[in-house]
């Protein structure tokens, strides 16, 4: 059953007026009586379209500085009355309440005011009361009422009314109601999260309106959707749409590069760095980072923290890659990359990122603070007879940044602000160490004079012994094992320096 209903009376009260005029003109042409308030009422009058002020309907003016305008039985009775219920119709007639068949309303810009850094008073005044009540009332009574809670729906309703002689179907009204309840729930979530900062309640509430359907999820048989505004985060200069796996790698790349201030290039594969280097120029950083593991770099995600010039682009262009991210590009560099239409070139924009992260787990959601801590030389405590040199401390800091963003168990070798090799995602720390040594040897790196970092403590002295024999001169670890003394003694025996940080950086 379509249960088509013709719109006779409409209440229109919106904060944003853009895009409203065509719909208002159509409603007037179809003989709909319009009720409105404040600025919207004046907007309609300026179109030379008849409109009745809500205060003329209710007999009450807008009061309390505009906080109370529509909260009245003649408004909500007109929206909530059930057309098929005789008792409702008797009361509507008794109190001379017009049936309101269409409600067009939006909400005060609460989120925008918070984002713009408004004062607490400004933010509180942007908590909409009348608007949210109108939306819920009209959506609840979708059986008889159309609710538009977003300007994005103006053209949809206009097309329906033009095609259906001013009528809407039940299915159409229910669809609008669904969108309206999303609007109200999203709005309430934003308000709650604003208040839930000091002594927060342990509840999980998030609402993201923007979404992008992905080609598929982690594998082709899985569906995937990204919830968020990628256009705010990046300006895409070239390439196909990002995939699920691309996005996971891009997230890891952004987190890693943000650890570095000097010109740095990083190459990632499956969220792990296979090349990182900080050098005086971004071109040098690229060449040195690629040398770490050019095999794994094939098809990887690349990220830099400086502008990509044409000379650097020409070198990058020799490699097949999936995604390149940088804060800026020379125009000639972009033109070079555009020769291959599928390669994704992203210009990163300045966007504040969340300090929380979460994911679904078992029958719920797990949430935590992001790991935003990184220990520099000042937080490194020497525990061996030999203290690290200034250069070793600098390299240990560099290595610690990479360890933090590499899958556990992990071992990282660094020399002169360059990743030499790493062992990633191993079930044994010794296996991670051996993997890193094998990789360094495979690409011709001499580990003599390098430093080693571990994401967690050494339960036994074997890793220190093996690494020392491979040529490292200093090692960083969080410490905290009941057998720390064994590893420290081994370092002293081998004549290498060791520092502890007191902070573990597991990444699962």
**Burial level of 157, CB count in 10 A (0-12/13-18/19+)?**
buried
Question: Of all helices (H) and strands (E), which one includes residue 463?
Answer: helix 462-470
Distance, CA of 57 to chain centre: 45
The CA distance from 300 to 328, in Å, is 20
Task: Give the residue carrying structure tokens 């090799």.
Answer: 421
Nearest to 60 by CA among 48, 51, 49, 68: 68
Nearest to 12 by CA among 111, 83, 104, 76: 104
Instruction: Name the catalytic one among 8, 179, 236, 270.
Output: 270
| Residues in contact with 192: Cβ distance below 8 Å, sequence separation at least 6, in sequence order | 205
**Burial level of 398, CB count in 10 A (0-12/13-18/19+)?**
buried
Check if 8 is active-site. no
- Sign of torsion over alpha carbons 297, 300, 304, 309: positive
Residue 348 is encoded by which pair of tokens?
A: 């990163």
- Could you tell me if residue 130 is left (phi over 0), alpha (psi between -120 and 50 degrees) or otherwise beta? alpha
Q: Which residues of 449-481 are buried (b: 16+ CB within 10 A; e: fewer)?
A: ebbbbbbbbbeebebbbbbbebbbbbbbbbbee
Distances, alpha carbon 269 to alpha carbons 247, 284, 360, in Å: 12, 21, 23
83 neighbors 89 (Cβ within 8 angstroms): yes
Check if 270 is active-site. yes
Residue 436 is encoded by which pair of tokens?
A: 């890193």
37 neighbors 53 (Cβ within 8 angstroms): yes
Which SS3 state, helix, strand or coil, does residue 194 take? helix
Instruction: Name the catalytic one among 140, 186, 236, 434.
Output: 140
The CA distance from 44 to 230, in Å, is 36
Which residues are designated catalytic? 140, 270
């Amino acid at each position: 059953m379509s249960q088509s209903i013709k719109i006779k009376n409409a209440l229109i009260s919106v904060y944003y007026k853009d895009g409203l005029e065509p719909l208002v003109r159509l409603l007037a042409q179809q003989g709909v009586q319009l009720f409105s308030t404040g600025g919207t009422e004046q907007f309609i009058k300026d179109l030379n379209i008849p409109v009745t002020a809500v205060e003329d309907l209710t007999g009450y003016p807008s009061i309390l500085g505009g906080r109370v305008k529509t909260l009245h039985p003649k408004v909500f009775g007109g929206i909530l009355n059930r057309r098929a219920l005789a008792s409702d119709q008797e009361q509507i007639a008794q109190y001379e309440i017009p049936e309101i068949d269409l409600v067009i309303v939006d909400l005060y810009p609460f989120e925008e005011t918070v984002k713009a850094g408004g004062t607490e008073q400004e933010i509180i005044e942007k908590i909409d009361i009348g608007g949210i009540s109108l939306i819920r009332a009209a959506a609840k009574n979708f059986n008889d009422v159309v609710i538009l809670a977003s300007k994005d729906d103006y053209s949809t309703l206009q097309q329906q009314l033009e095609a259906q002689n001013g009528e809407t179907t039940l299915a159409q009204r229910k669809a609008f109601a669904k969108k309206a309840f999303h609007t109200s729930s999203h709005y309430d979530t934003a308000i709650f999260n604003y208040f839930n900062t000091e002594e927060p309640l342990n509840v999980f509430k998030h609402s993201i309106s923007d979404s992008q359907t992905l080609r598929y999820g982690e594998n082709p048989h899985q569906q995937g959707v990204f919830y968020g505004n990628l256009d705010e985060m990046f300006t895409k200069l070239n390439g196909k749409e990002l995939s699920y796996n691309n996005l996971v790698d891009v997230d890891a790349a952004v987190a890693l590069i943000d650890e570095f201030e000097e010109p740095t290039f990083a190459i990632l594969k499956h969220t792990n760095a296979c090349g990182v280097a900080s050098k005086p120029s971004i071109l040098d950083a690229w060449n040195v980072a690629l040398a770490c593991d050019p095999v794994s770099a094939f098809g990887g995600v690349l990220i830099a923290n400086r502008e990509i010039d044409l000379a650097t682009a020409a070198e990058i262009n020799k490699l097949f890659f999936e995604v390149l991210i940088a804060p800026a590009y020379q125009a000639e560099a972009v033109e070079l990359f555009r020769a291959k239409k599928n390669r994704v070139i992203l210009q990163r924009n300045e966007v504040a990122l969340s300090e929380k992260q979460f994911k679904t787990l078992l029958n719920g959601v797990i949430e935590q603070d992001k790991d935003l801590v990184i220990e520099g030389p000042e937080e490194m405590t020497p525990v061996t007879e030999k203290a690290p040199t200034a250069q070793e401390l600098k390299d240990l800091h560099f290595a610690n940044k990479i360890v933090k963003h590499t899958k556990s168990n992990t071992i990282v070798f660094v020399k002169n602000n360059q990743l030499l090799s790493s062992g990633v995602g191993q079930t044994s720390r010794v296996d991670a160490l051996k993997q890193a040594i094998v990789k360094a040897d495979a690409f011709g790196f001499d580990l003599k004079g390098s430093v080693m970092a571990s994401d967690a403590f050494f339960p036994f002295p074997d890793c220190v012994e093996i690494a020392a024999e491979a040529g490292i001169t200093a090692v960083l670890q969080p410490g905290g094992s009941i057998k720390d003394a064994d590893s420290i003694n081994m370092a002293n025996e081998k004549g290498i320096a060791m520092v502890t940080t007191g902070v573990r950086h597991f990444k699962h």
